[in-house]
Amino acid sequence: MKNCLTILFFLIAAANVHAQHQHQAGGEMMARDVNVDHSVYHLDAEWTDHREKPITLNEFSGDPVIVVMFYGNCTEVCPILIRDAWRLYNAVDEKIRQSVTVLAISFDTENDTPQVLADYANYEQLDLPKWHFLTSNQSTVRSFAMMLGVQYAKKGDGHFAHSNLLTVLDEEGRITKRVEGLNQPVKEAANTIELIIKNGEQP
């Protein structure tokens, strides 16, 4: 019996190591479940955008917001993640798109200064009025990521393993839609955004 338990223990441990190895090799971390009743605007912290402007998240209340977390030095999936955010933004009806804000938040608080983010936004041709590339201190970024269910971890080579997630916040900062993975269909999320805007316009 004792032998069986020992073998079982080693099998489970081996399976964990294998799973961890696969996970790290892919560099992708699955997003966690989140509480959709809470507003992320309760996070009372200061951010700085790529225009060096100090920002608090509750400034965006009243409009739908697309959030994407990334880092500028990423040479794997982040450019595709940013493209996905842009694809979702573009999928919203052009007549009401100006009501949508996009927050691209870096979890590389060490390297992604406002100037670096400005260069990134310019390079990606996304220095658009309602687009904000944001940075803050490490604990604020970590807290915000937890609220969104985004996981990230710095690796030995300076790069990050992370979740690939687009989040749509409603006019009060509650999570109303999540699109996990790369190159996913965005029509449903765009419909959600349009609904938020239309509901907000009703008297």
- Nearest Cα residue to 128 out of 109, 107, 157, 104: 104
User: For residues 92 and 175, which CB has a smaller minimum distance to another protein in the complex?
Assistant: 92
Q: Binding residue for another protein (CB under 8 A) from 126, 165, 169, 189?
A: 126
Q: Which residues pair with 103 in a beta bridge?
A: 67, 132
Q: Dihedral of CA 21/27/45/110: which sign?
A: positive
Confirm if 88 and 81 have CB atoms less than 8 A apart. no
CA distances from 22 to 9, 67, 89, 92, 158 (A): 20, 27, 32, 36, 19
User: For residues 62 and 185, which CB has a smaller minimum distance to another protein in the complex?
Assistant: 185
The token pair at 152 is: 């990230």
128 near another protein, judged by CB under 8 A: no
The token pair at 112 is: 């992604």
200 near another protein, judged by CB under 8 A: no
80 near another protein, judged by CB under 8 A: yes
Pairing between β-strand 131-135 and β-strand 101-106 as defined by DSSP bridges = parallel
Only one of the segments 16-24, 31-39, 75-83, 133-141 lies at the binding site for another protein (rule: CB under 8 A); that segment is 75-83
- Nearest Cα residue to 154 out of 143, 144, 166, 142: 142
CA distances from 145 to 39, 43, 97, 151 (A): 13, 11, 25, 7
By CB under 8 A, how many residues form the interface with another protein?
16
77 near another protein, judged by CB under 8 A: yes
Q: x/- site string to another protein, residues 88 to 107, per CB under 8 A?
A: --------------------
182 near another protein, judged by CB under 8 A: yes
Q: Binding residue for another protein (CB under 8 A) from 75, 129, 187, 202?
A: 75
124 near another protein, judged by CB under 8 A: yes
Q: Binding residue for another protein (CB under 8 A) from 29, 31, 69, 74?
A: 74
Q: Binding residue for another protein (CB under 8 A) from 34, 48, 63, 76?
A: 76
83 near another protein, judged by CB under 8 A: yes
125 near another protein, judged by CB under 8 A: yes
Binding site for another protein (CB under 8 A): 74-80, 83, 86, 122-126, 182-183
